[in-house]
Structure 1
Amino acid sequence: MKRPSSWIACVGPFLFPWGEAGSRRVYGLVASLAAAGRTVVVAGGGPEPRTETPLPGIDGPGSVSYLGLAERPAPEAGPVRSSVQTLLRWGWRTAQWLDAQPTRPSHVLVHGGQAQYMFHLRRWCERNGVPLIVDVVDWFNGHHVRGGYLGPLHLSMKLALHHYYPRCDGIIAISSYLEAHYRSAGRPLLRVPPTLDVKNLTLDARNSIADSSPLTLVYAGNPHGNKKDLLGTVIEAVGRVEREGAQIELRIYGPTQDEVRRIVDGRPLPGGVRCLSRLPQSDVAAALQEADFTVLVRRPDRATEAGFSTKFCESLASGTPVIANLTSDMGRYLRHNIEGLVCRDHTLDEVVTALRTAARLDGAQRSIMRQAARSRALESFDYRAWAEPVGNFFRQWG
């Protein structure tokens, strides 16, 4: 595909158009670059063919297109092929693709590369005099990866975090925690929260809510067996408030009913809990908008503080307030009784208190909170709002 002489390559083995959380994060960044006038080619880990596909719905003088480089092993690949690809050759195909381009990119933006991937990318950028910018979104937790803390995948992630990322030419951090951690590296640094196309997100017509309507809550995602999102605590809180006489329903999208039962150690689920299985990403916004609140309770730890929940931003963008304890930078955007309800901590008693408060809200109060949630998202999480700071950050290198 023909492109201008100045273009940005955005690469990463986990980038796909655009269902997974990492891809949604990158979509916001590259959309901001396009709004700032840049041409971006996203070369992800998806399967071939290697045909650049323009991404629709991008506002601005620039553009974004996607192609797959098959960096991730195919599902049918055996353990030997998969291990060779991820442990030895990860990033090699991306470097080959960069070598084959008729003009070098002005920058390489990398997302989600572990040590092996970063080794190939950094070597290519140094050899060709192209600045390498890294987007850092996690402090990896060994509980959540195959092999655990001492497994090769976690060790590779840690090597990237501590060795390769600080040596990149520029760093984009998703949170204040990561921003503070990498400040000592002395590299140009920019904090950008998760962003998305808030402006064009279709909203339902739920402008009025009856005072007598039941309180509807939603959880959508993967709780990682109650290790990341404390879904078990939320379910127990729903049961307690339900026994007190409140009309309350919790809709769970993602884990199966059997997985949810394991989270609560096999105990019967409260009557108001509905396990509705996994949703396609295109249907998530509609499911959020049908609820009064999204509930997001997390145990504060380093991984939680370093990351930033995409679910939180998507909920506010959908006009759905959030019930949550404050982790990462959520306190910048979630004010008690305005964009949602704040739990003072992640304990059962605090979640119960928040649900009791939510159940007492009348229809007008819920509607006002929905409007505030949407306004906050437009101001803070729409990719257009970040076009200028992201564009200026990349201009440091031309």
Structure 2
Amino acid sequence: MTGAGTWIAYVGPFRFPWGEPGSRRVFGLAQSMAAAGRDVVVVSGESGPKTPVTVSTAGAGLLRHVGAGERPSADASIVSKAVQMVVRLGERTVRWLDEQPTRPECVVVYGGGAQYMARVGRWCRRNGVALVADVVEWYAPHQMPGGALGPPHLSAKFALRHQYPRCQGIIAISSLLERHYRERGGRVLLVPPTLDVFEVKPGGHAVTTEAGPLNAVYFGTPGRKDLLTTIIRATDAVSRRTPVTLSVYGPTVEQVRDLLDGADLPSSVRVPGRVPQQDVEAIVRNADFSVLVRPSERFTHAGFPTKFVESLACGTPVIANLTSDMGRYLQDGRQGFVCVDHSSTELERVLRRAAMLPRSQHEEMRVAARATAESSFDYRRFAQPVAGFLDSLHGRRYAIDGTTGPAVARTRRSRGDDIT
């Protein structure tokens, strides 16, 4: 139970504090809210803890976590899982909010789709509580199960286009999303992925060709975003004449072979498989470069890769093509190397360049990468902007379920949509 005072409920069917990329997003933003003086309760989708437990006491506010049980259990039947995730999603979160002795200052929603958003939105309207959407994606149909007409895509599409613009505030992960919702009359705050950078131990050395092969690393779940096949094939091509290895953390060997149409793994590629999120830091810190290549499409420009931020925080330079806002933080030859496109040929060129980099310049890149993370992605940097944004929400009208507010009217008048 929460006590009296100003507090924020940060809700969604995500795992917390570990388990998926969204976990890091929520943790970083919640820490900024706590640093801004708010008490924050993260209400995640897991079944526990049953009562809020303290996660962090850093800053002026308190960060706690409770599980609402929105995610179905692993042993639930397919029908039971479908009913919970499609029909009943949001009921348990609303029940938890109703049980609290005081109402939160605002509710921040991360994920869940249209059904979840509708239930939480109705609760906020009934109780006079501000509703904020934390928007981190603009999904393409091929990213979602069932494609364009599948329930997950239709749900996400409705939330992105119709429900989020009616919120009293939006926190956007990229400038593309910020611009999109601001043009529709929304009150928007841009916050990229953040973390406690000063808790991350940076790497203190570089292992280039002067001491052995270039050690590149890929970590994460490629899904429909990351071009892991391109990364593997480029590494294989380069390794035939230049000493370079690639370690792939996240997918299994079988999953990687499927990406390669069943072919065996090249000798230059290692696939240790999935590791706990807590262990990723040490793996990245000990690599020479992390590699991230994505297609230049709307959904890759709307999101922002958390793994990019994590690599810089570890002091590990990044090899990547520029999507989203990465060009603001990755300068060629400074925090890493920039690929001009996402082709295998271009990545081969850059990998050869990285393998020939003198140790002294690699050390300079490590220092620059870490410095960029400290100045741009530490959660403390956003405490004041978050505080001002939350203060600005008081008195703003929330419109949903057919009602019309200023944001809705602006949406209907807007032209030149750059994202829909």
TM-score by structure 1 length? 0.96
Match for residue 376 of structure 1 among 344, 369, 372: 372
Structure 1 residue 49: deviation in Å? 4.3
Q: Which residue of 1 aligns with 2:106?
A: 107
Q: Which residue of 1 aligns with 2:343?
A: 347
Q: Which residue of 2 aligns with 1:223?
A: 222
CA deviation string 1:294-327 (max 9, x = no partner): 0000011111111100010000011100000000
CA deviation string 1:325-378 (max 9, x = no partner): 000110011000000000000011110110011011011111110110000000
**Contact kept in structure 1, 2:9 and 2:106, CA below 8 Å:** yes
**Contact kept in structure 2, 1:4 and 1:39, CA below 8 Å:** no
Q: Tell me how far apart the structure 1 counterparts of residues 13 and 255 of structure 2 sit (CA, whole Å).
A: 28
Q: Which residue of 2 aligns with 1:239?
A: 236
Residue 328 in structure 1 maps to residue 324 in structure 2:
yes
Structure 1 unmatched runs, 5+? none
Secondary structure class of the residue paired with 1:299: coil
Q: Which residue of 2 aligns with 1:14?
A: 14
Q: Tell me how far apart the structure 2 counterparts of residues 292 and 28 of structure 1 sit (CA, whole Å).
A: 26
Secondary structure class of the residue paired with 1:55: strand
Q: Which residue of 2 aligns with 1:177?
A: 176
Structure 1 residue 2: deviation in Å? 5.1
Structure-to-structure mapping, 1:171-320, within 5 angstroms: 171-206=170-205, 211-224=210-223, 227-243=224-240, 245-320=241-316
CA deviation string 1:166-223 (max 9, x = no partner): 1100001000111111122212111110000101112344378672432110000111
Q: Tell me how far apart the structure 1 counterparts of residues 350 and 132 of structure 2 sit (CA, whole Å).
A: 41
Q: How many residues were matched structurally?
A: 394
Secondary structure class of the residue paired with 2:248: strand
Amino acid at match of 2:19: G
Q: Tell me how far apart the structure 1 counterparts of residues 133 and 218 of structure 2 sit (CA, whole Å).
A: 31
Structure 1 residue 66: deviation in Å? 0.3
Note closer, same or farther for the CA distance 1:261–1:80 as it changes in structure 2 (3 Å cut).
closer
Amino acid at match of 2:235: V
Amino acid at match of 2:128: G
Q: Which residue of 2 aligns with 1:43?
A: 43
Secondary structure class of the residue paired with 2:109: strand
Q: Tell me how far apart the structure 2 counterparts of residues 34 and 371 of structure 1 sit (CA, whole Å).
A: 29
Amino acid at match of 2:238: V
Secondary structure class of the residue paired with 2:273: coil
Structure 1 residue 270: deviation in Å? 2.6
CA deviation string 1:121-163 (max 9, x = no partner): 1111111111101100011133233222211111111111111
Amino acid at match of 2:200: L
Q: Tell me how far apart the structure 1 counterparts of residues 152 and 209 of structure 2 sit (CA, whole Å).
A: 50
Residue 29 in structure 1 maps to residue 29 in structure 2:
yes
Q: Which residue of 2 aligns with 1:366?
A: 362
After TM superposition, the runs of 4+ consecutive aligned structure 1 residues lying more than 6 A away are 207-210
Secondary structure class of the residue paired with 1:17: coil
Structure 1 residue 387: deviation in Å? 0.7
**Contact kept in structure 2, 1:209 and 1:367, CA below 8 Å:** no
**Contact kept in structure 1, 2:206 and 2:362, CA below 8 Å:** no
Amino acid at match of 2:225: K
Q: Tell me how far apart the structure 2 counterparts of residues 380 and 175 of structure 1 sit (CA, whole Å).
A: 13
Q: Tell me how far apart the structure 1 counterparts of residues 4 and 282 of structure 2 sit (CA, whole Å).
A: 38
Q: Which residue of 1 aligns with 2:116?
A: 117
Q: Tell me how far apart the structure 1 counterparts of residues 2 and 191 of structure 2 sit (CA, whole Å).
A: 30
- The sequence identity of aligned pairs, in percent, is 53
Q: Tell me how far apart the structure 2 counterparts of residues 295 and 305 of structure 1 sit (CA, whole Å).
A: 17
Q: Tell me how far apart the structure 2 counterparts of residues 172 and 187 of structure 1 sit (CA, whole Å).
A: 10
Amino acid at match of 1:9: A
**Contact kept in structure 2, 1:209 and 1:364, CA below 8 Å:** no
**Contact kept in structure 2, 1:218 and 1:250, CA below 8 Å:** yes
Q: Which residue of 2 aligns with 1:96?
A: 95
Task: Tell me which moved more, 289-298 or 256-265.
Answer: 256-265
**Contact kept in structure 1, 2:296 and 2:323, CA below 8 Å:** yes
Secondary structure class of the residue paired with 1:135: strand
Q: Tell me how far apart the structure 2 counterparts of residues 192 and 49 of structure 1 sit (CA, whole Å).
A: 28
Structure 1 residue 3: deviation in Å? 3.0
TM-score by structure 2 length? 0.91
**Contact kept in structure 2, 1:217 and 1:250, CA below 8 Å:** yes
**Contact kept in structure 2, 1:36 and 1:388, CA below 8 Å:** yes
**Contact kept in structure 1, 2:209 and 2:355, CA below 8 Å:** no
